[in-house]
Structure 1
Amino acid sequence: MSLTAGNKRRGGGRKSGARRTENNRLYAHPLPLEFSLPQTSWSNHVLGLFGFPGTRVLNPHCTGIFAADTHSVWITEQRDVMILWRQGFFGKGDLSRSEPSWQARQISARKAAGKYMTAEEVREKRRAERKRFKLDRAAAMAQAAAEAEAAFAEGRQVEITTIIPSGATWKPQHAISEDLPDGAAAPSSENEEWHEEVPDLEHLQLTLQEAFFLLWNLNCLTIINSATSEPMTLQEIWAAFQGTPDSTPISVPLHVQLYKRFDNPFLVNYAVYHHYRSLGWIIKGGIKFCVDLLLYKRGPVFHHAEFAVIVLPVYEDPADQENSPFDLANAEPFSWSWLSTTLILAYVTIPAQSRISPNALTSPACLAHYSVRDIVLRRFIPARMRD
């Protein structure tokens, strides 16, 4: 089943006002690629006569450090962090839930209380206000019920004087200003002083799937070996991401090469990641919601996730599953009782070891042998699906 993001009712996560305009400006590029147009139409025409396209693709180059212990790639340069986050929402801050905003939060805490707020601080404040509203409404309903019971016991007409707040009329004591964009800051001179006082201790952490997509497909990432401080070649990265020791020769029998298999977890998860990124989705980790991936139309600062994805490995040859050293999640049949939301089941077919030569695993070309099929599940909600 093809993906269709037709869920029109999810408007609650949309931003409004100046903050939405600022987000549109900051996150205008869906990938770390920019297109440079010629200054005049005449120059574009002349270049076209000689077979040269007038538009050039600019891919800003970034540098990351491979961290084998955490199975991730660290981006430490602030310029690279901003490029990868604002142009595709790649990675997450290691000291933040998503957006790398630890330093901004520290600076905000030292400034005028609540005046300069990051996206995470705005979210937490709104959650606190919603909690306060629910408590006020529950207290008002309890008081109105008590008044009605007292009037009924005294035999007089019930007159409710307590006003029960509604979501449309209830206001918090300190309203959030929509005029400030995410990460708004004070004037530049004051900002520089705060940045000097608060060091940036956070780095952007990329998953192996994100790092390989940036490296192999967009050619905008160089990965450094943390042990040698030297750039890694594509072959070294390919082996390291699969957990394959570089000393393992290809002539070793297949059953000894425990990591050189088509059901290697990196290959299975990358096939799914590449599939949805190629369809234009913004992909984030879904461990918070007990799923593998979350799919966004434009990114987490614009809307809530449209779909949650569970990766379901399917072996082309059942014998490969029996002798596999990997215990892939969801490879066994599962119960339907835990399905409770809009969900995508992504079935990734693992090529049979008997059909394809093990030599194919020495390069990313082996990814062409994987296939991904997705099924969209929606929970039946009578109140919303009566028609």
Structure 2
Amino acid sequence: MPRSRHRKPERPPPSAPGAPLAVTGKARNALKNALYAHPLPLDAPAPSSGGATQAKAAAAQQQQQGWAEWLRSLVPFARTQQEQRLPVVLGTWDPLTRCVWLQITPSAAAPAAAGPSSRPANAAAQSAAVRLLWERGFFGKGSLSRSEPTWRDRKANAIRVQRARERGGNVFTPEELTAQRRRERKAAKIARARLAVRAGTQLADGIVALGGELTAEDEKALEEIAERELVQEDEAGAGATTEQTESGYGKHIPGLIYLRPQREAQATEQAPRVSAAGEEGALEEEEEEVQIEEVEVLQLSSFEVLFLAGMLGVLEVDDEHGNRLSLSTLYALLLSSSLPPSLSSALLATPSPSELQASQAQWARPDNPFLLQYVAYHHFRSLGWVVKSGLKFCIDFLLYKRGPVFSHAEFAVLVIPEYENPDDKLSSPFPPGPNDGEKDWVWFSTMNRVNTQVLKTLVLCYVSIPPLARMQLQSLSSPEAFVQGLKRGDTYSVREVTIRRWTPARMRA
């Protein structure tokens, strides 16, 4: 039968910004492709009356320039006010975490900006603009969520499920279904390992079983191995659905592919499932009755702040007292955050422009750690990658092809500084970073093994630091001068080296 006959009916996309996608399968993929179609929070220029010929010429010119040149042409101080289409989002600088917080549902009584600005005038427009930062480029992270700010939706769904259970409904939250599927996957792995031992075949870790029965210690070892594999799959996003897991019982065992343990089969059949259509309708009817105050905020990293405010011009930042920070002050504030506490201002207060100007000779250096990491961030962003923090895996950045909602990160990036003139390092006021200096093979093996276990390829991103003799103080004292240096290509250069772990037992073929 053709696969098109099994296609699920498509549903219209959610009307409210940030509404959860309630469909599954191909319809859900279609909704995600439409919702996250724009790679940046900017509107593409409208086609002129010349028709398709001029549109093709513009597309050919953009392809010839490349993403980097096209992205650099979007800096706010190189565009007119009429070219700024989307509203500017307002954020607050936090001197302790050195990042910017965006209220997902800001107060309607927020003070208006002084002077002309395209910032939203009301809370609803501000909330929609904040949501666009996630939908167009996956910028930021929810303070109460793993990635996308969904705390309010999850909380409301839990309340609706609890109300449905009180009426006798058989409904479950997504977290409960995920835990159930995890138990099913663990049972499948243990059952497959039992069959492999009894058949005397090779296990997944390269150990050849000799056949026979399993002792209590062997059963305990199999459970520990299965739990460890589940943790690795959850971290790397390699977890399959229940149906895919069930179809894989004994796939490594010749002649036993179609076997399935009866005990695990009965447990799977008795597992909880999503409620029927009638209960889903009841949950939708109660959606308006659930009133939850939004306490989650969107957190932007310092690299995202400079990219959005300095390169795209879609972000404005206030200090903790509500005073608007100019782009030059924000740029100096980000660069000065790399200085040690003895050379910077108080940690719990934003330094004044005069204090930033006084320490300009210290932070306006080409070996500023913030600049080096931002150059790598800008480099991969300009190539079309979605760049997120990699602190969870002991690296600097994670690279997604399309974004976290589509797939897990494929590459883990370590930013390694590289001085063109090694003598410049002696006068650096910045403390040494974790990736500075020479590294032994134990360090390389450690970093590579951590990321290989979560199915990510390690990328060493070497950022060359131009010598101080060539870089004047004025070259990095303002964001305009910094961008002009990137355009000329005479400041920083980036090269990547990919490292893969070689395992003899698994790579013989």
Higher relative contact order (CA 8 A, sep 6+): 1
SS of residue paired to 2:325 = coil
Q: TM-score, normalised by structure 2?
A: 0.58
Match of 2:496 among 371, 374, 384: 374
Shift of residue 264, structure 1, vs aligned partner: 1.8
Q: Which residue of 1 aligns with 2:32?
A: 23
How do 1:26-105 and structure 2 match up within 5 A? Answer: 26-35=35-44, 37=46, 44-45=49-50, 58-77=85-104, 78-105=127-154
Deviates more, 1:63-72 or 1:347-356: 347-356
Shift of residue 250, structure 1, vs aligned partner: 5.8
CA distance in 2, matches of 1:267, 1:355: 17
CA distance in 2, matches of 1:166, 1:220: 57
Match of 1:302 among 406, 429, 439: 406
Aligned residue identity for 1:283:
V
Task: Say whether residues 1:320 and 2:320 are aligned partners.
Answer: no
CA distance in 2, matches of 1:106, 1:80: 23
Match of 1:347 among 462, 474, 477: 462
Aligned residues of 1:311 and 1:330 also touching (Cα < 8 A): yes
Shift of residue 317, structure 1, vs aligned partner: 1.9
Task: Say whether residues 1:331 and 2:336 are aligned partners.
Answer: no
SS of residue paired to 1:329 = coil
SS of residue paired to 2:149 = coil
CA distance in 2, matches of 1:95, 1:222: 23
Aligned residue identity for 1:334:
K
Q: Which residue of 2 aligns with 1:222?
A: 316
CA distance in 2, matches of 1:97, 1:224: 26
CA 1:103–1:249 in structure 2 vs 1: closer, same or farther (change >3 Å)?
A: closer
CA distance in 1, matches of 2:282, 2:391: 32
Aligned residues of 1:242 and 1:259 also touching (Cα < 8 A): yes
SS of residue paired to 1:58 = coil
CA 1:380–1:319 in structure 2 vs 1: closer, same or farther (change >3 Å)?
A: same
Aligned residue identity for 2:502:
F
How do 1:231-246 and structure 2 match up within 5 A? Answer: 231-243=324-336, 245=351, 246=353
CA 1:236–1:260 in structure 2 vs 1: closer, same or farther (change >3 Å)?
A: same
Deviates more, 1:317-326 or 1:109-118: 109-118
Shift of residue 293, structure 1, vs aligned partner: 0.7
Aligned residue identity for 1:380:
W
SS of residue paired to 1:247 = helix
Shift of residue 69, structure 1, vs aligned partner: 0.9
Shift of residue 88, structure 1, vs aligned partner: 0.7
Aligned residues of 1:33 and 1:60 also touching (Cα < 8 A): no
Shift of residue 297, structure 1, vs aligned partner: 0.6
CA 1:171–1:218 in structure 2 vs 1: closer, same or farther (change >3 Å)?
A: farther
Shift of residue 292, structure 1, vs aligned partner: 0.9
Shift of residue 277, structure 1, vs aligned partner: 0.1
4+ residue segments displaced more than 6 Å? 139-145, 165-170
Match of 2:286 among 172, 182, 190: 190
Deviates more, 1:27-36 or 1:272-281: 27-36
CA 1:174–1:221 in structure 2 vs 1: closer, same or farther (change >3 Å)?
A: farther
CA distance in 1, matches of 2:264, 2:362: 58
Deviates more, 1:316-325 or 1:282-291: 316-325
CA 1:319–1:248 in structure 2 vs 1: closer, same or farther (change >3 Å)?
A: farther
Shift of residue 123, structure 1, vs aligned partner: 5.7
Task: Say whether residues 1:130 and 2:139 are aligned partners.
Answer: no
Q: Which residue of 1 aligns with 2:477?
A: 362
SS of residue paired to 1:108 = helix
Query: How many equivalent pairs are there?
Result: 342
- Answer 1 or 2: which has greater helix percent: 2
Aligned residue identity for 1:359:
Q
Q: TM-score, normalised by structure 1?
A: 0.75
Shift of residue 174, structure 1, vs aligned partner: 3.8
Shift of residue 337, structure 1, vs aligned partner: 2.2
CA distance in 1, matches of 2:266, 2:36: 33
Shift of residue 231, structure 1, vs aligned partner: 2.3
Shift of residue 355, structure 1, vs aligned partner: 2.2
Aligned residues of 1:320 and 1:352 also touching (Cα < 8 A): yes
CA distance in 2, matches of 1:234, 1:259: 16
Q: Which residue of 2 aligns with 1:6?
A: none
Aligned residues of 2:396 and 2:413 also touching (Cα < 8 A): yes
CA distance in 2, matches of 1:168, 1:21: 33
CA distance in 1, matches of 2:88, 2:37: 18
Aligned residue identity for 2:29:
R
Aligned residue identity for 1:337:
S
CA 1:200–1:361 in structure 2 vs 1: closer, same or farther (change >3 Å)?
A: same
RMSD over aligned CA atoms reads 4.0
Shift of residue 35, structure 1, vs aligned partner: 3.1
CA 1:75–1:149 in structure 2 vs 1: closer, same or farther (change >3 Å)?
A: closer
Aligned residue identity for 1:131:
K
CA 1:267–1:97 in structure 2 vs 1: closer, same or farther (change >3 Å)?
A: same
SS of residue paired to 2:44 = strand
SS of residue paired to 1:111 = helix
Match of 1:110 among 159, 171, 180: 159
CA distance in 1, matches of 2:264, 2:308: 44
CA 1:110–1:347 in structure 2 vs 1: closer, same or farther (change >3 Å)?
A: same
CA 1:149–1:363 in structure 2 vs 1: closer, same or farther (change >3 Å)?
A: closer
Aligned residue identity for 1:237:
L
Aligned residues of 1:31 and 1:88 also touching (Cα < 8 A): yes
Shift of residue 259, structure 1, vs aligned partner: 2.6
Structure 1 gaps of 5+ residues are 1-14, 151-159
Deviates more, 1:331-340 or 1:273-282: 331-340
